[in-house]
Chain A
């Protein structure tokens, strides 16, 4: 669905990507994790065609995003971190924007608004940032585009809304859609994504499915000094240590995304070696 090959990208003096290769398939929700300024948003903008690669290639839905063809744009939607909605009522926004997305579903949109507890007769400008974001997310999902890109979607959402967001996204995925969520708030994606890609300094630090991670890594509280010593990552807890270690039991472990992220950032080589050896 999306194939990125040897991607190079720079902002004037700053190199962001230097030969990044990555692919995304339909039927999955991808979590794009990384620190601020590591190129997550830049990657999404390259995928939608608002930025152009300086080298390499991106093919999405069989097209080149940089051409910005209407047939491509009507099948891809981005919820940017900094977003804009016009000063009109929700009804007028839908009436003027939805006709450009052939698979837009009005009932779905109403249902998402209901999930988020947003009154449908409001004007967008009267809404708070969080409410506007929920309208945009609802619209993005109701467009039923093959590719949905979300940049820090949980920013500005309150605690209740974050869990509503997870529920809505989980219900929206099907075998024809590919959802890529970029965030540095890893907790917000827990139990939602099925593949994790961690980017740092324009390169991929880690790229594995949730299934693989839970079968090969163990996330637990340990009191065993030897286990703590051998762990990929450890953190002091009130009692014992919280560790990320090799899964020796063969029983799938519940993933703690925050711990995984820290383990990759601090000890990525060793973690990746484990996946390479066992793959």
Chain B
């Protein structure tokens, strides 16, 4: 290991983080369990007699995005206060080790704890729904997710997960970059980037694909109703290498890229 990165020191730092924040983590887990319980109860009472497992997952993912972002947004709030900031900065560990410790708790541990809370409550919900279905099959229906279906939930899940890590990494970066109101500022910036991207896409499509049947999140393929029509059109293709690279970057590299920026911001941080 190098002078600036030691697994031994990282291990000790993780232990220290746990010892000093154990109470906060336990209370947060209970709060998360309570919050998810309330959301699921609302879902249960508003769904009616047709229960769709897919919407349960969507609700869970929505909760993961919100709570994960809030949790990530508070990661480096110690740096926003003079007293805590000096304690953090002057502590004998490198920035990389300190960042890894936070990633360990706020990304890995948080996601595992969230998944445990979610599946615990989901199991309880399913047991209740199954009880309803078994007691009155003519009224209640429970539609399960078909994970094998092409373009279904099974295919969408990895995209949601990588998007979650990217959004969480953005909030983590925001917690270093902004001294105060980090979550609000990050939310505004993420929203601005997201909507600028959508706006940019719609501009491109309006310019190049005039007359296309365009929807905000979907480009439908062009069909000739009548082959006699002498309409001409151009198709624009991105090189497969470029396309694959971009897709790979969007899916897997945004989060590490933002973590890298966070590391640089930590090195630059002055208190």
Interface residues of A (CB under 8 A from B): 45, 48-52, 68-71, 73-74, 76-78, 80, 82-88, 92, 95-97, 99-101
Q: Can you list 7 contacts pairing A with B, beta carbon distance less than 8 Å? A: A50-B85, A50-B271, A70-B6, A71-B3, A80-B86, A84-B83, A92-B19
Chain A residues positioned under 8 Å from B89 (CB to CB): 49-50, 68
Given A69-B4, A70-B94, A100-B12, check contact A88 B20 (CB 8 Å).
yes
Q: How far is the CA of A68 from the CA of B263 in the complex (A)?
A: 13
* B48 interfacial contact with A, CB 8 Å: no
Instruction: Report the minimum CB–CB distance from B5 to chain A (whole Å).
Output: 9
Interface residues of B (CB under 8 A from A): 3-4, 6, 9, 12, 15-16, 19-21, 23, 81-87, 89-95, 97, 267, 270-271
Chain A residue with the shortest CB-CB distance to B81? A84
Chain B residues positioned under 8 Å from A83 (CB to CB): 83, 86-87
Chain A residues positioned under 8 Å from B82 (CB to CB): 80, 82
B83's partner among A45, A80, A87 (CB-CB below 8 A) is A80
Q: Are A86 and B20 in contact (CB under 8 A)?
A: yes
A101's partner among B83, B84, B92 (CB-CB below 8 A) is B92
Q: How far is the CA of A97 from the CA of B20 in the complex (A)?
A: 10
A97's partner among B3, B4, B16 (CB-CB below 8 A) is B16
Given A70-B94, A73-B92, check contact A88 B9 (CB 8 Å).
no
Chain B residue with the shortest CB-CB distance to A136? B87
Q: Are A50 and B83 in contact (CB under 8 A)?
A: no
Q: Are A73 and B91 in contact (CB under 8 A)?
A: yes
Chain B residues positioned under 8 Å from A101 (CB to CB): 92
Q: Are A100 and B86 in contact (CB under 8 A)?
A: no
Q: Taking A96-B15, A97-B16, A100-B16 as given, write out 6 further A-B residue pairs in contact, using a Cβ cutoff of 8 Å, ordered by the A residue number.
A: A45-B86, A45-B271, A69-B4, A73-B90, A84-B87, A96-B12
Q: How far is the CA of A48 from the CA of B92 in the complex (A)?
A: 11
Instruction: Report the minimum CB–CB distance from A126 to chain B (whole Å).
Output: 14
Q: Are A88 and B87 in contact (CB under 8 A)?
A: no
Chain B residues positioned under 8 Å from A99 (CB to CB): 12
Instruction: Report the minimum CB–CB distance from A132 to chain B (whole Å).
Output: 11
Instruction: Report the minimum CB–CB distance from A258 to chain B (whole Å).
Output: 28
Q: How far is the CA of A87 from the CA of B23 in the complex (A)?
A: 9
Q: Are A52 and B270 in contact (CB under 8 A)?
A: yes
